[in-house]
Chains A and B, each alone.
Chain A
């Protein structure tokens, strides 16, 4: 227990110190974690061999990340990406593998070893690149999208690679049954073996296809009742537990049948991308993913074997730079071929030039299978690590030097702006009307509500809404508050509405807030929380009722319309005056300026009432007033009047 606490303490201290500093310096969190790892590992030696075990757990962060990525990608979007996935991604893997294999053979490696090296280096780091793109808000840009397709293609390509590698083992080491190749696949170093060990190939295939079907069908049909059931508990942590259970369950199933858990959870994410629980799942899993990925990067930093590095500094550095050059050239060529221009092309080229965490996985797998000798494996591991260490530097280079020179990114920024959705918090009768109105005018909305039955009911009528408590900041982040333009705070709960307004006004001042208020007091609170478009929920309907009454009393419809508009204007004006004077810490009676203004307004209203009730009221309104009878309209009038008579 004590040693566990100590370990956790050391890692957390390292992260808490290094990451903010790195971020401050503009290096990004990934480099911060890596440096933290180097400091506590090789440099200070406070952590040792156990980092390798930890890494096995930490890699689960990658699994979660792919789940989250899947959640953001609807199946349709995935289908639309197919050209880039297969073309761009497939070409990247194939060409890079080919070139590096050739280079390795030129160094005198046997072809099967060389091919294994090529495969290891063809992969890039999903964890670093996506994390960095996400932090810098570049995911939706052209370059970000291209990078994403390639990373996804690589993640998928890992599966056939894992199947292929055992075949590359020196022939005398190969088992008689090649199906055993698949059965040995492990994603996490600590994971268990597959239940399919020693089964004939067709059974393996069947089971594999079956599990994919389980994920797709289960994701589609089972999650809804499950989460509905969990929502009954009305305890947020139970929901989190359920979300974790699902991700871990899928990973377990995938490991058992010998597939990549990352791919399995990615698939589950895609299946759930249309679900009403999407944003809630995102908000629940996100912190785990962040921490685990951070831990993963720390272990990478801590695992650097400086002894081997210093023995062959120049050789290893040379290899690293050579490898990154080859990868970069391939990416550059592909960017040209696929017309990814300007800053986007450079982002793509520089961002993906490293080797990645899947490289580690392949490396440990290849050494286990005796495809690559242990000594070479260690050297290669250093190369992968160094290239990952260099990546944040390349991103910084791109940001500081290239992105400014090539100004095509400006237009992309606008595009994100355009796509910025409207978030509607609360789907009661109020939110529903707002939602329908925005949708019918062609705007995208993200609707959040924590009433599960309501959402399921409305889903039957084709309303897209998500389950989740909109007063939780992480929920709003998952719903895309960063890119949103407008938020409609339409929930019943007055206190929570004020909380949301406070949070959004403070943290996301670019978002325009429209808030639903209950009564005047609530208006004041929302106003001091930072809302400016405040709508009293019963105000407009009462006005309409008043207008109907005026009509029934014989007022001309146009007069009634104008009278109600005048009333609205006056009342809102007075309310705004009072809202500015209101003080949350004082009662209206203690607040002297407020009380004085309120009395003044009352007086005005009384005077207006007296005037309206007087008999010659017809002339009271100042609109379309003809000149007074007998009054002159022109100076020429008298002179000409007689002349013309």
Chain B
């Protein structure tokens, strides 16, 4: 077995998991990948009462940070925002002495109800996903992290009926393994729209 190069922290946020058709399965899959830690934020903090010390220790302990969540109003579910507001403190994540995250990597793994075509200037969502995620990109940048484009499942509400979920979960598992074992060429990935398409190209010797 290949050695673990990067420890991956997946912060999973889904407030209505009984209804989830994709995200819960992605979380289950991630739990089985060696080198990946999955934290179900809504389970750990049902009161949204986030423990800053614990979360900062987790960040220090990992090399790659992943937000796993459904896209809610072009953004993350509320608890991930709360997590950012509380955990990314001055002196820890940014500002003087705030170097704890320097050199780490960040990306989102998300599912969106809308089709890919909707996330274009001429589509009904008008903005490309990457542009909608600009706040996260800039957050990563201020914290000194390498930002990667998101890993996306579009038309997530039809994926089950159309039998697309298995393939997506496989791709997700491969992506995580590639990240853990350092088989991704980050430089190539940074310019891509999403992580989905470029995966086969970027995985070295995969």
Check if A and B associate. yes
Mark A residues whose CB is within 8 Å of B: 556-562, 618-619, 621, 623-627, 629-630, 633-634, 636-637, 640-641, 643-645
Inter-chain contacts of B42 with A (CB < 8 A): 556-558
Are A641 and B117 in contact, with the CB atoms below 8 A?
yes
**Closest-CB distance, B40 to chain A (whole angstroms):** 8
14 further contact pairs, Cβ within 8 A, besides A557-B44, A626-B70, A640-B118? A557-B42, A557-B43, A558-B42, A561-B46, A618-B19, A624-B15, A624-B16, A624-B72, A625-B19, A636-B124, A640-B122, A640-B123, A644-B115, A645-B117
**Closest-CB distance, B75 to chain A (whole angstroms):** 14
| Nearest-CB residue, chain A, relative to B125 | A634
Inter-chain contacts of A640 with B (CB < 8 A): 117-118, 122-124
- The 6 residue pairs across chains A and B that have the minimum distance between CB atoms: A644-B117, A561-B46, A558-B42, A636-B124, A624-B16, A634-B124
**Closest-CB distance, A80 to chain B (whole angstroms):** 39
Task: Return the contact of A556 from the options B43, B47, B118, B123 (Cβ within 8 A).
Answer: B43
Inter-chain contacts of A559 with B (CB < 8 A): 17-18
With known contacts A637-B124, A640-B122, A623–B15 Cβ distance under 8 A? yes
Are B17 and A629 in contact, with the CB atoms below 8 A?
no
Are B122 and A643 in contact, with the CB atoms below 8 A?
yes
**Closest-CB distance, A200 to chain B (whole angstroms):** 73
* Interface core residue of B16, B18, B77, B123 (most chain A CB under 10 Å): B16
Are B158 and A629 in contact, with the CB atoms below 8 A?
yes
B113 at the interface (CB under 8 A from A): yes
A560 to B117, CA, bound (A): 38
Sample of 20 A–B contacts (CB below 8 Å): A557-B44, A558-B15, A558-B17, A559-B18, A618-B19, A623-B15, A623-B16, A624-B19, A624-B72, A626-B70, A626-B157, A629-B161, A634-B124, A640-B118, A640-B123, A641-B117, A644-B117, A644-B120, A644-B122, A645-B117
| Nearest-CB residue, chain B, relative to A617 | B18
B114 at the interface (CB under 8 A from A): yes
A619 to B122, CA, bound (A): 34
**Closest-CB distance, A543 to chain B (whole angstroms):** 13
**Closest-CB distance, B42 to chain A (whole angstroms):** 4
Inter-chain contacts of A618 with B (CB < 8 A): 18-19
* Interface core residue of A626, A634, A637 (most chain B CB under 10 Å): A626
Are B114 and A633 in contact, with the CB atoms below 8 A?
yes
Inter-chain contacts of B77 with A (CB < 8 A): 624
Task: Return the contact of A558 from the options B46, B70, B113 (Cβ within 8 A).
Answer: B46
A376 to B18, CA, bound (A): 98
**Closest-CB distance, B7 to chain A (whole angstroms):** 25
Inter-chain contacts of B72 with A (CB < 8 A): 624
Inter-chain contacts of B123 with A (CB < 8 A): 640, 644
